[in-house]
Amino acid sequence: MQQEQENSSVTVFREFLRIRTDHPKPDYTASTKFLVEKAQQYGLQCEVYNGTGLPIVIMKIEGSEPTLPSVLLNAHVDVVPAVLDHWKVNPFDAYKDEKGDIYARGTQDMKCVAIQFLEVAHRFIKSGKKFRRNLYLTYVPDEEIGASNGMEPFVKTDKFRELNVGMVIDEGLASPTEEFTVFYGERAPWWIHITAEGNTGHGSRFIEGTAVEKLMRTINKMMQFRQDQFDLLHKGHHECGKKLGDVTTLNLTVLKAGVGEGPFPNYSYNVIPTVAEAGFDIRIPPTVNLESFLDQIREWTSEEGLSFKFANYTEKNELTDLNDPDLKWWTVFRESCDKMGLKLVPEIFPAATDSRFIRNLGIPAFGFSPINNTPILLHDHNEFLNEKTYLRGIDIYEGIIPNLANM
Ligand code: ZN
C-alpha cells in the first residue's frame, strides 16, 4: 500500500541506497548497471568511461550551442563503511519510518545528490526543455578513499577535456538550520610523519638528547599552534564569525616509540628508544599560503633536527572566488536561489571532496547539497534524510540548473 503511494523519485533513491558501494569493496558493477539502465529509461545519452581503471558513468543532455563551456553535475557513487552495531536499522535496507526519514549509508553523502541530479535530468527530458549548453552528469568512483582511481586522474584525461567543462556542481553538506550552505573552497589535507632520532642508554640515567625529548618539544610547539587555531575558531566567533573551514586544524594521530615487541607489558622499559615518531592530520584553509606553512613545519622540525615526510600532500589548493564580479556562474547560481527564497551561506568545506581537482584546473565548482533543517550525519551512524527534503532538493536543482545551462 505504502509502496504505491511513494513518489517514484524516492523509490529510485532507495533502490540506489541498497546497492553496496561501501568501502572497502564497493560494487561498482552493480552501481554502473543501475545508472546506465536509468539513463536509458530516462532518455539520457550515456557512456561508461573506464580510462581511470574504474567505471565512470557519463550522461549528457545536448545543448543547442554545444561549443559553449558545459555545466557538469558530479557525484561520487561510493560510500564509507557502516558499523552495523551502531545502527538502529540495517544501513543498506533504506528503511523509511512513518515520518518519511530514510535511513541508510549514503542518504546524505552523497547518493541523495547523485539521484537528485538523475531525477532532475529526467524532468528536463520529459518536459522537452532545451538548453544552450551541454549538460553533463558524471558518476565517479573512490572519492571516499582519495580519488586516485576516480576524479584525480579523470580530470587529466582527453575524455574530461572533451566535456569542455565551464562549471561544476558537486556535493556540499547538510545544514541543521533553515539556511543552505554552499562551498567555494576546501581545506588542503596534509598528513605528515615526523621522525626523531636520539641517544640511547639505560633507563636509570639522565640521558640527554633522546629521540622522545626532541619529538616532544616539537609536538608541544605544534600543539600550541593547534590551541591558537582553536581559540581563533571559538573565541573570535562573534566578531569575525570563523567557521571550521576557515582555520587550520592539526591533530596528533600517530605516536610511536619504545623498544620491544609489545603489547603491554612486553617492552624494554629500561631502554631509551633511539627513534620516536609522530604523525599529524593537518587541514589547511585555502586562505593560507601553503609554501609558508611548509616553512613553518620545517622550522618546527629542524629546530630539533627532526626529519619529516608526507603521507599525503596537496601542493595546490585553489578556491572559487565568489567576490570575482566576472564569475557569472555564481551570480546566476545565487540569483536562482534568491528567486526560490533560499538563504545561502558560502563556506569553506572543512574536509576534502572531488571539487578540489576541478578548482585546481581553474574551473569554478560549487559544493551544494540542497539539504536544510537536517543534522549533519555524513560518515556518522544512523545517517538519514527525510523524503520531503530529498524531493524538495530536486525542485531546487530544477530552479538552478536551467539558468546555468542557458547562461
Ligand atoms: Zn561525499
Distance 17 CA to ligand 1 centre (A): 14
Q: What is the end-to-end Cα distance of the chain in Å, rounded?
A: 44
Could you tell me the pLDDT band of residue 1, with boundaries at 50, 70 and 90? very low
**159-189 tens-digit pLDDT:** 999 999 999 999 999 999 999 999 999 999 9
Question: Three-state DSSP class for 22?
Answer: strand
Indicate whether 240 pLDDT > 70. no
pLDDT at 195: 98
Distance 144 CA to ligand 1 centre (A): 7
Residue 193, CB-side half-sphere exposure with 13 Å CA sphere: 8
Output the CA torsion 44→49→54→56 (10° steps): -30
Catalytic member of 78, 144, 318, 383: 78
pLDDT at 133: 98
User: Would you call 78 a catalytic residue per the annotation?
Assistant: yes
Catalytic member of 143, 170, 246, 318: 143
Distance 369 CA to ligand 1 centre (A): 10
Distance 220 CA to ligand 1 centre (A): 33
Could you tell me the pLDDT band of residue 248, with boundaries at 50, 70 and 90? very high
Give mean pLDDT, residues 243-258: 95
Grid coordinates given for 314: 596537496
Distance 108 CA to ligand 1 centre (A): 8
Confirm if 145 and 307 have CB atoms less than 8 A apart.
no
Indicate whether 4 pLDDT > 70. no
Distance 171 CA to ligand 1 centre (A): 6
Domains of the chain with CATH codes: 8-186+319-405 (3.40.630.10), 188-312 (3.30.70.360)
Average pLDDT, the chain: 95
Indicate whether 241 pLDDT > 80. no
pLDDT at 121: 98
pLDDT at 261: 87
Which amino acid, 138? T
pLDDT at 40: 98
Confirm if 343 and 180 have CB atoms less than 8 A apart.
yes
Give mean pLDDT, residues 227-250: 84
Confirm if 109 and 24 have CB atoms less than 8 A apart.
no
